[in-house]
Amino acid sequence: MDLDGARTLVAGASGALGTGLAQALHARGARVVVGGRRREPLDVLAAQFATAPVLFDAVDGDSCRRAVDEAVEALGGLDLLVVCVGVAAFGPALEADAAVVDELFAVNVLGPMSLVRAAAPALAASDRGRVAVLSAILADLPTNQMAEYSATKAALSSWLEVLRRENRRAFGVLDVRPPHLDTGLETRALAGTPPPLPDPRSAGEVVEATVAALVDDVRVLGWDPKEKKLVSRAS
Ligand SMILES: NC(=O)c1ccc[n+]([C@@H]2O[C@H](COP(=O)([O-])OP(=O)(O)OC[C@H]3O[C@@H](n4cnc5c(N)ncnc54)[C@H](OP(=O)(O)O)[C@@H]3O)[C@@H](O)[C@H]2O)c1
């Protein structure tokens, strides 16, 4: 897609990948509105883009819809929705706390779905509509001590696959599945202690690859363990 002038909402822009993507897309000429749940970091970012932030909590579907509507209104339409919302939790599958599992699925699956559903009419009305969503390598490689986190990412990727097929004439769908990164996500987990993790890759690498994948209309960016880089895939 052509990013120049693209009317863009980055949801989860207060996070490391969200901030990086918002800045990279702005640098490529996109008109960026940032969204998330904490006003302070969003205000700082939005000031760089001369736009106003939109607020939502991913566990509240109505707030997701309202935030998207506000962004569409402010931008006069929507060409690109980027979803970088997510949270982790760790521990053995049988020991997971039910409230934690509920929140994990609400933030990682139901919230992103609400955001995309709310944005779909505006994206379909655009001549270059596109969605990019951060899932994770865990969608391909479910990992011990991360059963629920893995399950959320597999559910999200599965939903994105069908979304792409059902709407191929309306808008494009990019699913980004990075490996462990240097953003500190694991230190902000809802519960548990992370198991030993591989050396983290840099968030900047993922930002760069995601922007390139948007330009090239890639469907899935998956991790190639031999090449040690994100590569484009059909599914
Ligand atoms: N870092 C990795 O190793 C890695 C690897 C693969 C995939 N990913 C995925 O990449 C995405 C971004 O992760 P990151 O590494 O950039 O982590 P991050 O810096 O912690 O960013 C997470 C974002 O999610 C937002 N968020 C969490 N709960 C929310 C809620 N209830 N409502 C609204 N927003 C909420 C956070 O908002 P606040 O600022 O308000 O907390 C933040 O903007 C996530 O989906 C993650 O699963 C990360």
pLDDT in tens, 125-170: 999 999 999 999 999 999 999 999 999 999 999 999 999 999 999 9
Q: How far apart are CA 208 and CA 108, in angstroms?
A: 23
Domains of the chain: 7-233 (3.40.50.720)
- CA–centroid distance, residue 19 to ligand 1 (Å): 10
Mind spelling out the 3-state secondary structure of 188-232? Answer: HCCCCCCCCCCCCECHHHHHHHHHHHHHCCCCEEEEECCCCEEEE
Distance 45 CA to ligand 1 centre (A): 16
What single DSSP character describes residue 109?
A: I
pLDDT, tens only, 42-78: 999 999 999 999 999 999 999 999 999 999 999 999 9
Rounded Cα gap, residues 171 and 181, in angstroms: 29
How far is the centre of ligand 1, averaged over its atoms, from the C-alpha of 135 (Å)?
Answer: 10
Confidence of residue 36 (pLDDT cuts 50, 70, 90): very high
Q: Tell me the pTM.
A: 0.98
Q: Are 188 and 200 in contact (CB under 8 A)?
A: no
| Nearest one of 6, 12, 1, 230 to 133, comparing CA atoms | 12
Quick one: CA dihedral 155, 157, 158, 163, positive or negative? Answer: positive
- Best residue among 57, 85, 105 to mutate for probing ligand 1's pocket (most ligand atoms within 8 Å of CB) is 85
